[in-house]
Amino acid sequence: MSVKILIIGACGQIGTELTQKLRALHGVENVIASDIRKLNIDVVNSGPFEVVNALDFNQIEHLVEIHKIDEVYLMAALLSATAEKNPSFAWDLNMNSLFHVLNLAKAKKIKKIFWPSSIAVFGPTTPKENTPQYTIMEPSTVYGISKQAGERWCEYYHNVYGVDIRSVRYPGLISWSSPPGGGTTDYAVDIFHKAISKNKYECFLSENTKMPMMYMDDAIRATIEIMNAPAEKIKIRSSYNLAAMSFTPNEIAQEIKKHFPDFSITYSPDFRQKIADSWPASIDDSFAREDWNWNQNFDLEKMTNDMLVNLKK
């Protein structure tokens, strides 16, 4: 029996690659992509696509009913840097879209939900190195506040209504196939594009700003693995810490120089520096490794190779 999947926010940085991967796994006709506009031609043309506003409960409910949806991946969100410019809309989108799918699951109209959280749930008072799964969480950004509140609601709906919701706290995500989406870790994508096109890069963070990062291939795999794990293995219903590598702008620049010896980087920190400073430098994800056997494939060197090979194409 094939599973029917709805991806909300399918044209975003993660949604784009998640859609392609899930279609490859489950069959094109079983994965319904949706977004507020037809923002990505590959996603729109590669299988069923619906225009939907994540803030409109009736639209989502209608899609779930007509397509007989079993699982929803809710990827629609306003990310850290963008959310700071429009706090009330960010809160509205990030929270109400979550309530819509939680309430559909509570009403037994869908069986399983994936909702992404983020390292933005942590704040300046959180231990910076090897940030534990359970620790002080006092986020200082709109995005982080919405994600932390979302985690609490996910756990509540699981405990009180038995909703099968699964979540990971994504670190900064790096991908060659889709452009950055307005996050504080975007420099780690942009730097590769500029290395190839201009052989130089001006970074909006300072050179020693260390942050947890992950290659998109690993992030997509983690997303699918947590959704495929038996329910009894998923012991944390707020959101799992997830880690792969941590590095600074200087370290990624040195790695790029192995491929482009004349590459140069300058630093001009902007408002995103303050956001980055409030986040962890590295993450302890031992619960994910233990509960559902998470393990990353890419480190900085391997990722840099893969990024440059694919971008040069």
Q: CB burial class (10 A; 0-12, 13-18, 19+) of residue 184? A: buried
Determine the Cα angle at 233 with ends 33 and 118, to 5°. Answer: 50
CA distance 96 to 191: 34
**pLDDT tens per residue across span 36-61:** 999 999 999 999 999 999 999 999 99
Average pLDDT value for residue range 249-263: 98
Average pLDDT, the chain: 96
Give Cβ neighbours of residue 11 (< 8 Å, ≥ 6 apart): 33, 35, 37, 38, 39, 40, 43, 44
117-118: strand order across its sheet? 117-118, 168-170, 240-241
Residue 18: pLDDT over 80: yes
For residue 35, what pLDDT is reported? 97
Residue 179: pLDDT over 80: no
What percent of the chain is predicted at pLDDT more than 70?
99
Q: Give the active site residue among 143, 157, 170, 187.
A: 143
| CA-wise closest residue to 290 among 114, 133, 128 | 133
The encoded tokens of residue 27 equal 């069959």
Say if residues 165 and 105 touch (Cβ distance below 8 Å).
Answer: yes
Residue 14: pLDDT over 80: yes
Residue 156 is a catalytic residue: no
For residue 212, what pLDDT is reported? 97
Residue 82: pLDDT over 90: no
Q: Tokens 């409109």, residue?
A: 56
Burial code (b: 16+ CB inside 10 Å, e: under 16) for 133-170 equals beeebebbbbbbbbbbbbbebbbebbeeeebbbbbbbb
**pLDDT tens per residue across span 116-140:** 999 999 999 999 999 999 999 999 9
For residue 182, what pLDDT is reported? 74
Burial code (b: 16+ CB inside 10 Å, e: under 16) for 197-214 equals eeeebebbbeeebbbbbb
Say if residues 188 and 180 touch (Cβ distance below 8 Å).
Answer: no
Say if residues 269 and 227 touch (Cβ distance below 8 Å).
Answer: no
* Length in residues, the chain: 313
For residue 259, what pLDDT is reported? 97
pLDDT bin (cut points 50, 70, 90) of residue 112 is: very high
Sequence-ordered strand ranges (E) for 56-210: 71-74, 112-114, 117-118, 165-166, 168-170, 172-174, 200-203
pLDDT bin (cut points 50, 70, 90) of residue 183 is: confident
Residue 1: pLDDT over 90: no
**pLDDT tens per residue across span 25-34:** 999 999 999 9
The encoded tokens of residue 76 equal 């629609």
Residue 180: pLDDT over 90: no
> Across the strands, what pairs with 265?
201
Residue 72: pLDDT over 90: yes
For residue 185, what pLDDT is reported? 87
For residue 143, what pLDDT is reported? 95
Give Cβ neighbours of residue 64 (< 8 Å, ≥ 6 apart): 6, 72, 104, 109, 110
For residue 149, what pLDDT is reported? 98
